[in-house]
Amino acid sequence: MQDLALAAAPLLLLLGSALLLPGLSPDRPLPRLLGAVLVAALMLRYLAWRATETLPPLAWSAEAAIAWGFFGLELLSCTAGLLLLHVLSRTCNRSAEADAHPVEGIPGGAPLIDVLIPTYNEGREILTRSIVGAVAQDYPRFRVWVLDDGRRPWLRALAEAHGAHYLTRADNKHGKAGNMNAALRHLLALEERAEAIAVLDADFIATPRFLRRAAALLHDPEVGCVQTPQHFFNPDPIQLNLRGLSVLGDEQRFFFDTILASKDAHGTAFSCGTSGLVRLAALERIGLFPTESVTEDMLLSVKLKGLGWSTVYLNEPLTVGLAPEGLQEYLTQRGRWCLGAMQIARTRWGPFGAGPMPWRMRLHTLDSVLFWGFSTLMRLACLLVPILYWWFGIMVARTDMRGILDNLIPYWLASSFYLGWVSRGASLPLMADAMGLLVTREALLGTAIGLFGRRDQTFKVTAKGTRRDRAVMQWGIAWPWAVLLALTAGGIAWRFLLGPMPHTSPELEAANLFWSLLNIATLAITMLICVDQPRRRRQERFDADEPATLRLPGVEAHAVRLRDLSVTGCRVEGGPAGLAAGRRLTLRLSGVGDVSAEIRRVSGTTLHLAFQVSTGVEAALIRKIFSGRYVRSVTSTRPQDLLRVLAQRAFG
């Protein structure tokens, strides 16, 4: 008992330190650095313990092969973990820099910017939003170009109706990068050349301040690219399927709010394909947008860095986009990102390539390779190891409770606390593992194809604009996790029926039970995410609380309160008595004017309205809704809120 008390001392010290974390800002440099150093030290201490005290002797046996193979994966995973800690040890916020360098102060005035909207098969509603947002910039000198790889006459008319230019090409070679390069050759031949290029994916809408704020960072002549974060106006599949829209941030918040800001502090931020600017002179130096990878954005910044141009990150919500609307679309997108990272690793610009790459950029590209490849394998192995123990008695570590309390638990808790703290709850245990499990198949396939397959892989476009009227269990995605869940739970039950494992201490049996219960919880969350929830509306509705005015023929104007709003309809409270569904009226909205509407449903004094809008009114509604006032991202999650959401989803 005294030995256990001594072993628990580091754990108690760690728990005491964790109580202090909520009172410290993760933006403070010293606590952030010290936290990273502490976690790294505990990680190395854990690995030393694993290597010297827990592994079986090398032998020609299944147990030895599995134990040493698992330890090898741990070494690779911990290498990725050390690189992540190095990244997270610093952070950067450039808002003050953008404030200090307004575009009016740039020598020669605000630079001319060409805004590119590459598109392939997106629908009219999606493209209308993007074009309207792009042409409504609060910036003195810019042109908007719609780049249509679908060669659609109606899109030419739509672009021109909103004041944008339209370009197309004869083929779709090299996907998005090829589309933009074809446009750049046209733009470079113009009499007045732009100084910078802005890229907006076809499903992203720029707020009016996008160009003004991003262009401010071009004051530094060494800046080749300015990236801003991606925020989303609709819930991603994880938020929707767990029914945690008001509590859970979207899956990209950890990357954009934490990791990319940290990479910027190290000088290794990279372009993310949309919502950014690229200096045209820098693009010309690297031969325009890269085509060697399906993630041309990341490779763009890697090439720029090799030639002395930096990518900087302005962490302000200046654009909003459409998140993948179904789980399969989400996985397709992640698989493309993995494939692109592996393709970059095979080029001369990869971590071990011959290109002129600074050592820090090499480390940070290696981090991507390890994350997509070996961390994914490690996550899968952590699910399989307890199953092997319960069913076959195979152990990857032989230890006692003191060793676990002294080495494993402090490291695991410290890393969980630190990641949750620096990310403000965007990365929490179990939830982060469940999201990682979802992409296992795509990550392993992307890794294999990217590292060993043909180099000329095609660009897979993420489908957007889908709707469902009922919940759908994605068994094609869920079945491996269902099998592992059954094997884990069945193994525990089987072992308890047979009695304790021979030659195994009760402490080790308890440790495997705890590990298995964590896996069951992670797999259960993963299964819940695999139930795609209905998306019935054509357009997202946004909460509102502002005055509006109803006008009906022959009736005096009536003041109401706007409670939610979309491009296609709204909900108002305080309507006059006696109204019925089907009645037509006019609604006057601030910033829009008069909107023709029809009552679809009446609930007391609450009216549910459907709009009938002209092109001009539709554009005004888009500008109003996507100005940044109504779209709000959840940027922090408390563990207790996450637990409540999961409990309600599982048992509610």
Task: State whether 297 and 388 are in the same domain.
Answer: no
Which residues, in sequence order, are CB contacts of 525 under 8 Å at separation 6+? 242, 430, 431, 434, 646
> Is pLDDT of 108 > 70?
yes
- Domain total of the chain: 3
Task: State whether 163 and 52 are in the same domain.
Answer: no
Q: How confident is the model at residue 535 (pLDDT cuts 50, 70, 90)?
A: confident
Task: State whether 79 and 101 are in the same domain.
Answer: no
Tokens coding 342 = 């592996």
Query: Does 256 map to a domain?
Result: yes
Task: State whether 251 and 398 are in the same domain.
Answer: no
Report the pLDDT value the prediction gives residue 8, as an integer from 0 to 100.
55
Query: Does 523 map to a domain?
Result: yes
Q: What is the pTM of this model?
A: 0.90
Query: Does 648 map to a domain?
Result: no
> Is pLDDT of 4 > 70?
no
| CATH of residue 192 | 3.90.550.10
Report the pLDDT value the prediction gives residue 274, as an integer from 0 to 100.
94
Query: Does 234 map to a domain?
Result: yes
Q: In terms of residue numbers, what domain contains 232?
A: 95-321
> Is pLDDT of 651 > 90?
no
599 phi and psi angles, rounded to 5 deg: -75, 125
> Is pLDDT of 20 > 80?
no
Contact 463, 329 (CB under 8 A): yes
Task: State whether 453 and 510 are in the same domain.
Answer: yes
Q: How confident is the model at residue 499 (pLDDT cuts 50, 70, 90)?
A: confident
Q: How confident is the model at residue 140 (pLDDT cuts 50, 70, 90)?
A: very high
Alpha-carbon span 480 to 38, nearest angstrom: 36
Residue 561, strand partner residues: 547, 573
Cα→Cα distances 114→128, 141, 196, 265, 340, Å: 18, 9, 7, 28, 26
Cα→Cα distances 532→247, 416, 541, Å: 18, 28, 19
Domain closes at, from 477, 501, 532: 532
For the stretch 248-265, pLDDT in tens is 888 899 999 999 999 999
Task: State whether 524 and 551 are in the same domain.
Answer: no
For the stretch 450-461, pLDDT in tens is 888 776 656 555
Query: Does 638 map to a domain?
Result: no
Task: State whether 426 and 382 are in the same domain.
Answer: yes
For the stretch 73-85, pLDDT in tens is 999 999 999 999 9
Task: State whether 25 and 10 are in the same domain.
Answer: yes
Domain closes at, from 532, 558, 579: 532
Per DSSP, the residues of 480-521 read HHHHHHHHHHHHHHHHHHH-SPTT--HHHHHHHHHHHHHHHH
User: Nearest CA to 382 among 496, 507, 523?
Assistant: 523
Task: State whether 468 and 496 are in the same domain.
Answer: yes
